[in-house]
Amino acid sequence: MTNSAPALDADERAAAQYPGARLPDRRRSVHSLGVNLAVSEWGDEHAPAIFCSHGGFDFSGTFDVFAPLLAAGGYRVVVWDQRGHGDSDHAPLYSWDADIRDLLNVLDSIGREPAILLGHSKGGSISTTAIQVAPQRVRAFVNIDGIPSHRPPPDVADHERTKLLATELSGWLDHRRAAGAKVRRADTLGGLAERRGRMNPRLSKPWLRYLVTRGARKDADGWRWKIDPVLRPGGFGPWRAQWSMARLASLPVPLLGLLATESEPMGWDTSPADVKPVLPPRAEIVQLEGVGHFIHIEQPARVAKLVLDFLRSVAA
């Protein structure tokens, strides 16, 4: 937030408090090939590190309840805002490769000891690729609903598929044409909480309002998400789920994979049966009943216990 940002009113100050949420113990910045990444840390800085990658369109503040629980279990928890997200720089262009390089630069920022990676959604996917790129840097991996599935899309006639693709493509190009001048829409804190609630229908109102105070900023005309307006969900490209799926089997580190049961707009709808044939040797898959895609945000205590138990079993 800049110095000229308007002050929070009493209601907004109250929203910035949430039971169990703790702001990072330390904040720093990692310079990744010209882009400044905002890094947050919780826990003893000499403890073994867990590097957490948030999902697409998320931000490190979504770890404010979950990360302190992992830190209390004896870990140094490192979370960074991906380029274009949260408090990190907005970049001229974005790509998978750039996110992987950023992840490895954040890893490098604390040394060369093999670390634990944890990633949610897109963060789970970039962590998977990062392990394949630099296996010697990682000793265990927790993937939170970031495993794709092989399941083909529902049957659509070819001519319908063409129309769908045409709409998607022209929509994307129209967005790119306008993106240079785009700013995110200003709203009230409550308005942004309500919008986030559509993606996270099981989160309480106070938790949603707290998340807004971390992922959005207050400008003179209202609150707006910090994420770069150039970014748009539902990108496209030649990516195929089977490339990621087949390579899951080659992961050389113990894996804990968490899956959801509740279908949601941002969810991946991957089931244990989808994943079973491609699991690496030391893998455990847990499906959490009644939980949606944002598993660790919805049930931080339950997920922290699973993660800490898994890490204990790996150490043993």
Partner 1 sequence: MKTRRLRHARIELALHELRAGAGRALLLLHGLGERSPSAAPPFAERWPGPVFALDFAGHGESSMSIGGGYTAEVLMGDADTALRELGSATLLGRGLGAYVALLLAGARPAQVRGAVLCDGLGLAGGGAEAATPSVVYPNPHAAAPPDPFALVELARDVRPPDYATAFVRQANELSGLERPITVCCAEKPDWLEAALREPGVQTASIEDALAYYAKR
One residue of 92, 111, 152, 233 binding partner 1 per CB under 8 A: 92
Angle between the N-to-C axes of helices 241-248 and 122-133, in degrees from 0 to 180, rounded to the nearest 10: 60
Closest CB to partner 1 among 162 and 204?
162
Among 22, 23, 27, 162, binds partner 1 (CB under 8 A): 162
Query: Using CB under 8 A, which of the segments 164-172, 189-197, 265-273, 297-305 binds partner 1?
Result: 164-172
Please pick, from the candidates 133, 186, 266, 286, the single residue that binds partner 1 as defined by CB under 8 A: 133
Specify the residue for token string 């050389």: 252
Size of the site for partner 1 (CB under 8 A): 42
Smallest distance, partner 1 to C-beta of residue 12, A: 31
CB under 8 Å to 190, separation ≥6 — which residues? 209
Query: Encoding tokens for residue 215?
Result: 């992922």
| Calpha distance 65→132 (Å, rounded) | 30
* Positions 172 through 211 that interact with partner 1 (CB under 8 A): 172-173, 176-177, 179-180
β-pair type (138-144, 76-80): unpaired
Nearer to partner 1, 19 or 34 (CB): 34
Q: Spell out the alpha helix ranges (H) of 200-279.
A: 205-215, 241-248, 272-275
Per-residue string for binding with partner 1, 60-89, x by CB under 8 A? -----------------------x------
**The one segment of 129-137, 207-215, 254-262, 264-272 that binds partner 1 by CB under 8 A:** 129-137
CB of 230 to partner 1, least distance (A): 5
Write the CB contacts of 262 (distance below 8 Å, at least 6 apart in sequence): 202, 290, 291, 292, 293
C-alpha–C-alpha distance, residues 116 and 271, integer Å:
24
Strand 35-42 with 49-53, pairing: unpaired
Q: Which of 38, 50, 52, 91 binds partner 1 (CB under 8 A)?
A: 91
Q: Does 109 bind partner 1 (CB under 8 A)?
A: no
SS3 81: coil
Q: From CA 184, how far away is CA 48, in angstroms rounded?
A: 38
Single-letter amino acid, residue 212: V
Output 158 or 289, the one with its CB closest to partner 1.
158
Closest separation in Å from C-beta 255 to partner 1: 17
Q: Which is nearer to partner 1, 154 or 238 (CB)?
A: 238
How many other CB atoms sit within 10 Å of the CB of residue 173?
Answer: 10
All residues at 6 or more sequence positions from 44 whose CB lies less than 8 Å from its CB, including other chains: 71, 74, 76
Site for partner 1 in 30-59 (CB under 8 A): 32-35
Chain residues in the site for partner 1 (CB under 8 A): 32-35, 83, 90-95, 97-98, 100-102, 104, 129, 132-134, 158-159, 162, 165-166, 169-170, 172-173, 176-177, 179-180, 230, 235-238, 240, 243, 247
